[in-house]
Structure 1
């Protein structure tokens, strides 16, 4: 098998049909041996029935498979996908990611042409189901809507410029060689970036390919200020955990903890002095402030999670 499309989903009965419909209409993939697998991450809706109905009318030359993963969490779902995938490359689509008609073809060809690539992502466009709120532009990055470059280019991993999990394609060999098999309790949002960082540390390249395009389905509730500010803070809280994966010595980790805290404090103060009351009234500035506050608190969250994991292992 050349390529596996893996769709981790939790209660995705409403959006999963849209994802599968796009995959049914893929072009230029006739000479590629590929499959689609759905990883049901402990859903309590009709996700399994949705897959069953699609399978009844699915292309005979492209297998559609269903797997149930009881352990809750995207990391568990992705690991299950890697275990079940038969493809040389595994392309992850969330249950609200709509692939362009040539996404499978473009993704597979890019991997074959770049022998050292371990993980790669593409352009993510917004598919908005409601009018955009005012001052939305700075906030869209927290919804994984982004265009990194006009041409294929290496991500700057050392600067934490990394592909999100939406539309991420990995070489299965690279994953098995570099991504830890033991899933730890991590801060939400960290899993995406840890995949690429682990591969980078193992010597694999991390690329951006703008020819791979998907649309991220954004319902109205995800454009509300309360949600966007919350998700921005979550990304900020990931800062410490992600950066610490790049160092090994305990003294280096201690120094990095202090640097992250002081850097977060500097950004919070600078943002307040620059925009003052607009950090509350302006959507974009409010999201940025929430992100900086998350960075400031990220060392404390890291220590909290480390204590939790140690206590869990000791039981």
Structure 2
């Protein structure tokens, strides 16, 4: 009976996840920004806040590596939603002359540190209300912060305006498959116990939407890829505790006030039954990370050729391969 319920409900859950994630593409106020600020302040004031840095530290390191791949010196850069400095810890002064750090949490902003020699300016700013001067930045970076923004199109447009021509925007966000195990388990438990479903996990943006949002904002030469980090936890309760320590607990306006003990125990049992691997202790939690790079148009950027200017037809591709990559473009032989 549980397996039949699981099949039907999992399909329903996946449909709801897609529907919820599509809402984040509009300018509706889905997230309570003040609640998120308070969550970040509470996490930053905890004595053991460093214990929960492992996920964001790893993603920050991987994103900083993408900055190093761009062989350019950036005079002015901004880290949007810097939290405790998961990016600034890896940005070298040789690459960035001055880095402006912004976050809604003054305590987290204070705790952010940089590498030796890196000039930093710290500003308490909301990602939804950026007011950098137009054409003032060479680089904008952001790691695991923009998934809490209500108006992503507007945010991307403001970032693009703040960049100089040929400036670059490099960021990471949680993708739509993040914590699908936890989401499904909580919803199945509530469906079984209460006959209904409440949104206990905030909606995340789908990867297919990122490209269209960046194009809509005016970015060019887009690069988008995903990565999955699967982390093991003793049980669902440790996972939820760590999410709170990361300040990644739910901040949607329609979040329920509390979750009953009975539902929590049922969700933990379902999580263990559906997702725990045989002969292994604990449960896995999947974090899907979307990385993307977008460029503001500039006069020196490579431009695509005009339509119809190609000298070789794609239908001749087989002949090119057979002849070792050589083809007479005049005769087609």
Q: TM (normalized to structure 2)?
A: 0.29
Bigger Rg, which one: 2
Give the structure-1-normalised TM-score: 0.30
